[in-house]
Structure 1
């Protein structure tokens, strides 16, 4: 299963939470992108991720 973890402000895709998710869910594909500060860039990234990972195989 694909799990997309979106971090909060002042965090990153390499945060302790992201690492813990990968550790606790070794059989799943835990995607933890670094979300850009720029709203336009962030939206472009999120749209790309939404297209890349199927909704029926992804949990939010």
Structure 2
């Protein structure tokens, strides 16, 4: 269910883009070219998305130090 929730969030973000004032407090995560449309993806693709999320969080917290 958390995967479907995450895809739903990506879809909402694409419909309501962040404002310029939102970016300093936003963790950007590369969606690796995957569509926000709910579909089945392989475990390898899920791992790629999780790794992308880790990189996004590291960049975000790295710039705060």
TM-score (norm 2): 0.38
| Structure number with higher helix proportion | 2
Q: Which has the larger radius of gyration?
A: 2
Larger RCO (CA under 8 A, 6+ residues apart) = 1
TM-score calculated relative to the size of structure 1: 0.39
